[in-house]
């Protein structure tokens, strides 16, 4: 992902709020108050470093046959490709070994292949910060998988130091907890927010409901789908999400705020629709009672 740049023409939050207030012929304070009632804050965009660069992958494990294996690969600058003339040679597995620590969970790694892995280590540079994500599955993947996120002062220190000599930032035990920890770390470090999108058929009554998407959905912009896949970007099937992933690359100012406003507007419309339906139902019930009497 490239580092976005804004020119001096980027509208500040103050100017944006003032323009909205002028269009609506109300005060700026009234605009801010209305947004605050639905928990929306408007802030001037700050340039974010959203580069993510892989440095080293280490995988240690043992196949079901008892054959031990080790992968230790450095990634220097340039374009890398995983190529083998045969099918079922492990190309996708190698890719998924990279995906698992970056995303917090694999996308297409078979459980039997995952069970081979005892230890997985990924050194990377996230938003300019040297980061190591280590996953220990020596006690099993389902319950006792343990992961840590550590950092160093430099890339050289990261590459040449064991885990215990690096600064611990976070740790978690269990598949769900590990995925949540990595996802939150990536969002915080890359200065990204969870995004809300409206699902018109969501909710218990089918009148629509917001859906919240975090790092797992954003990661789809880093890992493109197969050519025959029905989704343009990502692996989460949600209306409007591919567009949000495209905005991730250009860091479109106020895109998250716009999404929040759109969700709030549709939520208010749903509430009004439900209130009208209840009022009509109550009126019909009262009319029926009067007819009986």
Q: What is the pLDDT of residue 254?
A: 81
Helix (H) or strand (E) holding 129: strand 129-136
Helix or strand (DSSP H, E) at 170: strand 167-173
Query: Per-residue pLDDT tens for 220-278?
Result: 878 776 665 677 677 777 777 777 777 766 677 888 788 888 888 888 888 888 888 88
The DSSP code sequence of 171-216 is: EEESHHHHHHHHHHHHHHHTT---EEEEETT-STTSS-EEEEE-HH
In total, the chain counts a number of residues equal to: 293
Residue 2's pLDDT band, with cuts at 50, 70 and 90, is: very low
Confidence class for position 53, pLDDT limits 50, 70, 90: very high
All structural domains of the chain with their residue ranges: 13-48+192-272, 52-189
Supply the pLDDT for residue 121.
97
Closest CA to 117 of 146, 86, 88: 146
Q: Say what the pLDDT of residue 278 is.
A: 84
Tokens of 6: 């804004």
Q: What is the architecture of the domain spanning 52-189?
A: 3-Layer(aba) Sandwich (3.40)
C-alpha closest to that of 178 among 215, 127, 152: 215
Cα torsion angle, 248, 250, 252, 253, sign: positive
Residue 145 has pLDDT above 70, yes or no: yes
pLDDT at 168: 97
Tens-place pLDDT, residues 196-208: 778 777 777 777 7
What distance in Å separates the CA atoms of residue 247 and residue 50, rounded to the nearest whole number? 13
Closest CA to 51 of 87, 4, 94: 4
What tens digit of pLDDT does each residue of 84-134 get?
A: 888 877 888 888 999 999 999 888 888 889 999 999 999 999 999 999 999
What pLDDT is recorded for position 232? 67
Please check the confidence at residue 76 and state whether its pLDDT lies above 80.
yes
- Nearest to residue 183, comparing CAs of 158, 219, 147, 237? 219
Contact 151, 131 (CB under 8 A): yes
Does 156 score more than 90 pLDDT? yes
pLDDT at 227: 60
CA 239 from chain centre, in angstroms, equals 16
User: Percentage of the chain with pLDDT > 90?
Assistant: 39
Q: What's the average model confidence in pLDDT over 165-189? A: 95
What tokens were used for 35? 């947004």
């Amino acid at each position: 992902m490239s580092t976005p740049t804004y020119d001096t023409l980027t509208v500040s939050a103050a100017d944006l709020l003032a323009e909205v207030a002028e269009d609506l012929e109300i005060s700026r304070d009234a605009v801010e108050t209305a947004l605050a009632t639905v928990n929306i804050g408007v802030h001037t965009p700050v340039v974010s470093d959203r580069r993510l660069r892989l440095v080293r992958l280490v995988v240690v494990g043992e196949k079901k046959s008892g054959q031990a294996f080790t992968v230790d690969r450095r990634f220097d600058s340039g374009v890398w490709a995983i190529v083998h003339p045969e099918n079922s040679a492990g190309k996708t597995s190698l890719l998924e070994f990279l995906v698992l620590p970056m995303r917090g969970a694999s996308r297409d790694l078979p459980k039997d292949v995952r069970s081979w892995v005892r230890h997985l280590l990924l050194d990377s540079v996230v938003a300019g910060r040297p980061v190591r994500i280590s996953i220990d599955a020596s006690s099993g993947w389902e319950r006792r998988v343990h992961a840590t996120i550590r950092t160093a002062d430099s890339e050289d220190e990261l590459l040449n130091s064991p885990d215990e000599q690096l600064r611990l930032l976070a740790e978690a035990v269990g598949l769900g907890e590990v995925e949540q920890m990595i996802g939150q770390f990536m969002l915080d470090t890359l200065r990204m927010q969870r995004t809300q999108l409206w699902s018109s058929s969501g909710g218990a009554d089918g009148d629509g409901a917001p859906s919240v998407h975090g790092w797992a959905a954003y990661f789809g912009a880093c890992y493109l789908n197969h050519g025959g896949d029905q989704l343009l970007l990502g692996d989460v099937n949600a209306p409007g999400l591919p567009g949000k992933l495209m905005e991730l690359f250009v860091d479109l100012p106020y895109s998250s705020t716009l999404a929040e406003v759109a969700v709030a507007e549709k939520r208010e419309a749903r509430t009004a629709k439900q209130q009208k339906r209840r009022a009509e139902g109550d009126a019909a019930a009262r009319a029926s009672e009067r007819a009986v009497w």
